[in-house]
Amino acid sequence: MVVVLKGAAILSPLHLRRNVQAFRLIFAHKLPLSAITSRVMEDAAAQALLDEVVADWTAGTVLSVLRELVPAVWRRNLDRHEPRLGDDPTTLGIQSSRNICNLAVQELAGVPGVQARDARTLEVTYQGRMLHAGKVASRSRNWNVWSADWSDSDVRSNCAEANSKAYVSLAGTLFAAAEPFGGQPADPRVLRHLLLMWQGFDDGSTRTWLGFPRLDTEPWFAVVLLDDDPGGRGGMPTTSGSPTPPAPDFDTLGEPSLELARRVEREQRHKPQGA
């Protein structure tokens, strides 16, 4: 829920609580708080900055390494996944995340200006910004990156909180073209925390995103899809002319509508005549 005026989003309740500047905007312009609806629009300035970061981090080797590791590790671990030996989706996800972390630390060692370490998750520092990597729990292609929730991870939540304290986005608001108040953090270049989120599918394909997380009604200031890798199992590309249909997301399926007879009825039905 965000404060709006005539359909234009102004500021979220989170920013109203955390930023004195937000209160000044509301009261200075005598805005009614009764009009509450809509969603905050994506920040074009933050998106332009993210595009620069992607180019710089690719040129600096970091993203090139990570974008190669994600599909390679996922397919390799799918091939050695053995439910008969006790493997399940959790072990597969943890194994893949740990492999990506360890291999990235090894491959980025010695790259000029880059510091990569294992800090519970992969942590990469470069050009004054810090990236953490994490796997999306869902293995459904219906999952939307804008539905991401940071509450299940202290690392991701802390990154989003740090960005939200450093930068107040007025994108898509009544004040988008207005001069910021003195001291108002209105330059997206103060954003220092990046999240690389990746998703693995049962057919061996992967998707990878990079963005600036936030704590608000929306999880991102800006986010970009880096890769939608269609490769098949074992690192080999799929040969079918049509893509493999996605596995169903069982969490979204309703209960089956089956007519089940009661136990007493079943017993009477199968009871011998005269018994």
> What rounded mean pLDDT belongs to the chain?
76
CA distance 238 to 19: 51
Residue 232 in this model has a pLDDT that exceeds 90: no
Compute the Cα dihedral for 140, 145, 150, 154 and give only its sign. positive
Q: Residue range 210-219: average pLDDT? A: 93
Q: What is the DSSP letter of 271?
A: S
Residue predicted with more confidence, 169 or 128:
128
Q: What is the DSSP letter of 272?
A: P
pLDDT of residue 236: 34
pLDDT of residue 197: 98
Cβ neighbours of 191 (radius 10 Å): 26
Q: What six digits make up the tokens of 111? A: 């790259």
51-86 pLDDT tens trace: 999 999 999 999 999 999 999 999 999 999 999 999
CA distance 265 to 135: 49
Q: Quote the pTM value.
A: 0.69
Residue 97 in this model has a pLDDT that exceeds 90: yes
Going by pLDDT thresholds of 50, 70 and 90, the confidence category of residue 43 is confident
Going by pLDDT thresholds of 50, 70 and 90, the confidence category of residue 180 is low
Q: Residue range 221-233: average pLDDT? A: 84
Give 225's strand partners: 209
- Encode 130-168 in three state secondary structure: EEEEEECCCCCCCCCHHHCCHHHCHHHHHHHHHHHHHCC
Residue 130 in this model has a pLDDT that exceeds 80: yes
